Amino acid sequence: MTRKAAIIGGGVIGGGWAARFLLNGWDVAIFDPDPEAKRKIGEVIDGARRSLPALYDRALPPEGSLSFHDGLDDAVAGANWVQESVPERLDLKHKVLAKLDQAAPVDAIIGSSTSGFKPSQLTAQGARAIVAHPFNPVYLLPLVELVGDRDQCAKADSILRDIGMRPLTLRKEIDAHIADRLLEAVWRECLWLVTDGIATTEEIDDAIRMGFGLRWAQMGIFETYRVAGGEAGMKHFMEQFGPALSWPWTKLMDVPEFTPELVDLIATQSDRQSGQMSIRQLERLRDDNLVGILRALRRNQAGAGKVIADHEAGFPPLPHSDQLIETVHRVVPSSWTDYNGHMNEAHYLEIGTQATDRMMEIVGAGPDYIARGKSYFTVENHISYLAEAKEGATLRVTTQVLAGEGKKMHLFHRIQNGETLVATMETMLLHVDLDSRRSCPPEGEVAEALAQLATRHTALPRPDQAGRHVGQRA
């Protein structure tokens, strides 16, 4: 089914929304009067293309189509989702939302990216809209705060989960929703620390990134403080640090005056800190680091990492084709490439291992079977590197069972980029009892499923590379 998102205002946030929808298979139509919009959005989408697929072990759906429009009416025609991301001015939001209300299909969700306005303010002149407040970069960070009409928010929740996001619906509307209230409090305190000459912008950033910032990504604040209470837990933590809340640790109630001197001071310090890098270079660095953090969180099914794992679990099953089984379909992330500008040899093993894991699931030796105490161990791998694979290439692995009798599972993985065979990996596995750590025959159902596949696959031509040793010519 084709789904279309209309993005009204394609700056930092609108560009991020466009990338999030597009890379999840939606058609995206953009209206932004800025003559530079196409170039700027193109750069944001390029950044998303090199980072978002790296979060997944499976390929995202094929990209939708991207179009730019001279008028708002044209952009929203036939849209299922309309996202307003114009500058944060209430008069402008009212003007744009009134037009959207008229032009958008009646069943389209109209979301506003507003960081601070409440839905009652946005809809005060009669236009329909909910708040759908995302976080920068929208294509990588899952959180979206939803505020407004319950039914619309529920519908929005389901759509946003489908594009890999984590909607958080607010119980009540409030200025600046939840997250920006927290950010504002920290931001205000940071400005005081600079104004009062206590710390520079860089020292404050170090105070965050070398310490509590690392904890917040995985545990938030309450869980972090629970752990900080030691064995006595949260209650002890509250008793110990509660009194400090009324000591003069913060100046949160006051805002430092934004004098030209303060603005200059902060801008100069910030230039000294990061001015040697362009914004695009900083974005690239930020995205690479976010991918690394999110991948680590995903391994432990923690926080935003679980959102990604859950999203991927909903992808449609891989098709069986060529009589062989498609075991992997994924994009080469930039983090897999090396100093030679192509996929590093170690990741051929990684992709082959993913194919083996998938084959174990297919024969019934997946996570449940392993939890019962049986599994397969790899005893030998042979990889033949046949062609280069570059960042962004979509690789497809098909697996042939060469033998599957007794304790042995003998597999042959073909790793292809389109029609090009980029590598093969031959793998021998032995079935083991995880208690005794000794090999043993698989349980009946696994043995049978494997034997059936082996019978089907040994009727197919045996791969040329099977049984190769190092140094043998192709």
Ligand X SMILES: NC(=O)C1=CN([C@@H]2O[C@H](COP(=O)(O)OP(=O)(O)OC[C@H]3O[C@@H](n4cnc5c(N)ncnc54)[C@H](O)[C@@H]3O)[C@@H](O)[C@H]2O)C=CC1
Ligand Y SMILES: C[N+](C)(C)CC(=O)CC(=O)[O-]
Smallest separation, CB 57 to ligand Y (Å): 27
Question: Is 9 annotated as ligand-binding?
Answer: yes
Smallest separation, CB 107 to ligand Y (Å): 28
Question: Is 64 annotated as ligand-binding?
Answer: no
What residue 324 binds from ligand X, ligand Y, none (CB within 5 to 8 A, per partner kind)? none
Q: How far apart are CA 306 and CA 312, in angstroms?
A: 10
Smallest separation, CB 188 to ligand Y (Å): 12
Q: Give the helix/strand (H/E) hosting 35.
A: none
What residue 279 binds from ligand Y, ligand X, none (CB within 5 to 8 A, per partner kind)? none
Cβ(269)–Cβ(201) under 8 Å?
yes
Q: Which of residues 100-119 bind ligand Y (CB under 6 A)?
A: 115
Q: Which of residues 21-40 bind ligand X (CB under 6 A)?
A: 31-34, 37
Question: Is 352 annotated as ligand-binding?
Answer: no
135 scored as a contact of ligand Y (CB under 6 A): yes
DSSP-assigned letters across all residues of 302-356:
-HHHHHHHHHHHTSPPPPEETTEEEEEEEE--GGGB-TTSSB-HHHHHHHHHHHH
Smallest separation, CB 193 to ligand X (Å): 21
Q: Which of residues 153-182 bind ligand Y (CB under 6 A)?
A: 180
Determine how many CB atoms are found less than 10 A away from the CB of residue 429. 22
Question: Is 194 annotated as ligand-binding?
Answer: no
Burial (Cβ within 10 Å: 0-12, 13-18, ≥19) of residue 8: buried
Angle, alpha carbons 365-367-370 (nearest 5°): 65
Question: Is 305 annotated as ligand-binding?
Answer: no
Question: Is 14 annotated as ligand-binding?
Answer: yes
CA 219 and chain centroid, separation: 18
Q: Which stretch binds ligand X (CB under 6 A): 3-11, 185-193, 225-233, 320-328?
A: 3-11
Cβ(129)–Cβ(84) under 8 Å?
yes
Q: How far apart are CA 404 and CA 133, in angstroms?
A: 52
Strands 109-112 and 320-321 turn out to be unpaired
Please state whether 284 falls in left (phi above 0), alpha (psi between -120 and 50) or beta.
alpha
Q: How far apart are CA 387 and CA 312, in angstroms?
A: 28
Q: Which of residues 182-221 bind ligand Y (CB under 6 A)?
A: 183
Q: Give the helix/strand (H/E) hosting 219.
A: helix 213-219
Cα–Cα distance list, 340 to 182, 224, 231, 388 (Å): 44, 41, 50, 10
What residue 85 binds from ligand X, ligand Y, none (CB within 5 to 8 A, per partner kind)? ligand X
136 scored as a contact of ligand Y (CB under 6 A): yes
Smallest separation, CB 114 to ligand Y (Å): 8
Q: Judged by CB, which is closer to ligand Y: 142, or 333? A: 142
Token pair recorded at residue 447? 């043995």
What residue 113 binds from ligand X, ligand Y, none (CB within 5 to 8 A, per partner kind)? ligand X
- Give the one residue of 47, 111, 119, 134 binding ligand X; rule: CB under 6 A: 134
Q: Judged by CB, which is closer to ligand X: 9, or 303? A: 9
Q: How far apart are CA 201 and CA 268, in angstroms?
A: 9
Contacts with ligand X: how many residues (CB under 6 A)?
Answer: 23
Q: Which stretch binds ligand X (CB under 6 A): 130-138, 307-315, 336-344, 443-451?
A: 130-138
Smallest separation, CB 13 to ligand Y (Å): 8
What sections of 82-178 are H helices per DSSP? 90-103, 119-122, 150-162
288 scored as a contact of ligand Y (CB under 6 A): no
What residue 81 binds from ligand X, ligand Y, none (CB within 5 to 8 A, per partner kind)? none
Helix/strand number for the chain, H first, E second:
17, 15
Q: Judged by CB, which is closer to ligand X: 114, or 201? A: 114
What residue 14 binds from ligand Y, ligand X, none (CB within 5 to 8 A, per partner kind)? ligand X
- Give the one residue of 51, 83, 114, 152 binding ligand X; rule: CB under 6 A: 114
Nearest residue to ligand X, by Cβ distance, number only:
11
Q: Which residues contact 411 (CB under 8 A, 6 or more apart)?
A: 355, 356, 359, 399, 400, 401, 402, 426, 427, 428, 429
64 scored as a contact of ligand X (CB under 6 A): no
Spatial CA neighbour of 361 closest among 395, 318, 321, 330: 318
Q: Judged by CB, which is closer to ligand X: 115, or 201? A: 115
Binding-site residues for NAD(+): 9-14
Catalog residues that contact ligand X under the rule CB under 6 A: 8-14, 31-34, 37, 85-88, 96, 113-115, 133-134, 136
Catalog residues that contact ligand Y under the rule CB under 6 A: 115, 135-136, 180, 183
